Amino acid sequence: KDHPDKGRSQNTLTGYRPMTEKESNSKFCVYTGHAEQYKRRICNNIPYRCEFRNLTDDKETKVCTNKVMRYYEGYEGGTLKLKYRLDYLTKDPKIDWNSWDSFIDSVNIASIKAVIIEDHGLGVINNTAATKVAELLSGSKAKNAKLFVRTKIENPYWMDQFKEKLGNIPITLVVYDHQLAKRIQGERKWYYEKTLGRSALELLGRMTGTEQFGRPELNINTPKAKNAAVLLDENIVFGMNNEQCFLTYRSTLRKLPTNIGRTTTFFAGLIYQSINNTDNRQFEDQCYHSLRCAYDWSKNASKARNMRLGRNFYGDYEMALDNLKGTIKQQAEITSMGDYMNLWNEWSASSEKQGVITKEVEVKEVRGKENEKEKKRIIQLWRGIGTIPKFICVGGPKRDGLNNLANKIAEFKKQGNPKYPLSCLLTGSPGWGKSFLAECLARKFGFTYMDYSVAQMATTTDFVNCLATISSVQNRTGDGLLIFIDEVNSHIEGNPIINLLLGPLWGGVFFYEGKSYRLEPAVWVFASTRGISDFAGGGGTDSDGKVNKGSDFVSRLNGPVIQLDSLGGQKNSEIAVEGLRIEVGSADITDLKRYRHVCSAKSSDSNYKNYRSIKDAQIKTEQVYLMINMLSRIWGSIIKVHEDVLELFHDMFTINGIRSMELFASRFEDINDDTLVGVNVPDLALQKNEELRRHIILPEDWLGDNGKRKPLTPEKAKAEKFIQIET
């Protein structure tokens, strides 16, 4: 800890060889390889001796060329939060490559066990460095050397050199920490009880140079890698070992107040085990042991901080890798997730058509034979919950938009004292859960939630009173707020409400009864049934002569705009849906004859036929998830559903979104034995269900005796036509 060479940078490991018997029985310094007075317990456990060689062009001063200053905020035993980090260079980090070449000439290249690259994004690791390392590893003498990479920057450009020059030689290991993972993918649901999330697979594909199934637009320059691991903040690791994915965790390890230096310790533990092939451990087992080392490092650092030990804050270096020994006592804490490509295919299937996944499962007995596998068709409802807890969204442009919104809110909260508010817009037809989404976001990020509907305000004073309440809550609690304003496209006393929002939204000040009030920056979520183009087209005056400042309002939206009932983003989808909505709005569909006409798909220009033919609409798959969840809340857990019913959920048109689905679900009848079949679906041709015809458009063959499809009973349904439901 007090050695003068500690902290040097731009070093390379040299003289890596097995220790002699004399060295192994003596105390020596790990920096110089010489016997020293330092009583380092770890020295006796290192099977190799090594020394540092500085490759910078300044051979005299031997000073480090970069400095790191971290600014933290924390009190007593509470979590220490990194406010910001400052990296700077004390000198130009030019490497003396002549020194590198002379070093290579002076050592036995065949004895090189490993090359370790750790890139902090300061320019030390560049194309030249990558070329030199690639040439070394691709040579015939160093072909057995292992390459370990840890980077703190996204998609490092020098990886191109590796990809070009290493050829088929794979990297042994690539490691990311949770900060880089979030910077690349944003706020994400990384794993579920059953599998890794989409974003985890995308990240592992990026790290290992594996094909990005479903996301070919990602530009990946990473060469092939055997292993990859990501250390999350909650002491959980997900990774991939030769295209087999896994999750490693210790259920007893809680997140500690001081989580600094964990990834460095974790990375070092993996290198040590890989080089020494400890007990022939699999990579996931190595992650398990290294995770414990990383946790203990944080534990010691937290202890040192709480005891106010000053610069000894970073813990005990001698004990950093103590937990690499021993055996794994609880194998259940290493969960095999399966083959990478199969996982991708399952995620793709879960957001297409009816969301049905085909899986092979082991069964005790199949047709009199033991230990065989049987294919099961299932819907896994948990796949519908992504980054935002409790909000169902299965994929596509809508899920991408919601992930982006969550990222923006997370960045806003991280600022601590933001200068400007974050404002975004949710658009869509009534009933698509705009207020529920805002409430879920507030709960996820720990904001105080306040919601208002402009349509319920009679006067401008009502609206100003809302602003005064918001200001009062901020002054009283100091908490962050998420404010939801519904029907922001409405008028109050003949004036567009957006005209009253402009000053408070951006300037943070409004006037009321001769006094000025201050609004601190908050998250504003606006909702409208009108699209962004209707606002952006503002300016000038409305038909009644009132000034419309819609374009000014749009210019103050510094967050995303999300169309909640979007059907995939393609033009033909929008045309089909808009045409059906116009037809529904202009017809008295409570009249059964007129309703049958709207539900008909016989004519070539039928709006409903065009709607059913849409193939890129993940929101139609979303209807399947929503309906099963709603029915489960009413009838208890549903175990299996007939495929005809799933097809109905997929193809029906909901006039008022989730609100219409909830009403529809409330009218199902006699669901027995946790099984959902056609006979349970309410018949909209009946007079008692007349009001449902204002909410749901069904295929014509589901209507009454004239329909071609006869709703099946459980007894008449074939077993192979049922889909299993997994919550």
* pLDDT for residue 310 is more than 60: no
Taking residues 510-523, what's their average pLDDT? 80
Residue 163 — very low, low, confident or very high, per pLDDT cuts 50/70/90? confident
Taking residues 334-349, what's their average pLDDT? 90
User: Which pLDDT does position 28 carry in this prediction?
Assistant: 46
User: Is the alpha carbon torsion for 708, 710, 711, 715 positive or negative?
Assistant: negative
What pLDDT, in 10s, does the model give residues 50-59?
555 666 655 5
Q: Indicate the DSSP class of residue 393.
A: -
DSSP bridge partners of 339: 244
- Which tokens is 22 given? 């004399």
- Which has the minimum average pLDDT: 131-145, 403-417, 496-510, 534-548? 534-548
Q: How far apart are CA 255 and CA 525, in angstroms?
A: 31
pTM to 2 decimals?
A: 0.84
* pLDDT for residue 492 is more than 90: no
Residue 3 — very low, low, confident or very high, per pLDDT cuts 50/70/90? very low
* pLDDT for residue 322 is more than 90: no
What pLDDT, in 10s, does the model give residues 437-456?
999 999 999 999 999 988 88
The whole-chain average pLDDT of the chain stands at 79
* pLDDT for residue 45 is more than 70: no
Q: Indicate the DSSP class of residue 384.
A: G
Count other C-beta atoms under 10 Å from residue 232's C-beta: 19
* Cβ–Cβ < 8 Å for 248, 340: no
* pLDDT for residue 47 is more than 80: no
Q: How far apart are CA 410 and CA 384, in angstroms?
A: 21
Count other C-beta atoms under 10 Å from residue 525's C-beta: 29
Neighbour-count burial for 242-281, b at 16+ CB within 10 Å, e otherwise: ebebbbbbeeebeebbbbbbbbbbbbbbbbbbbbeeeeeb
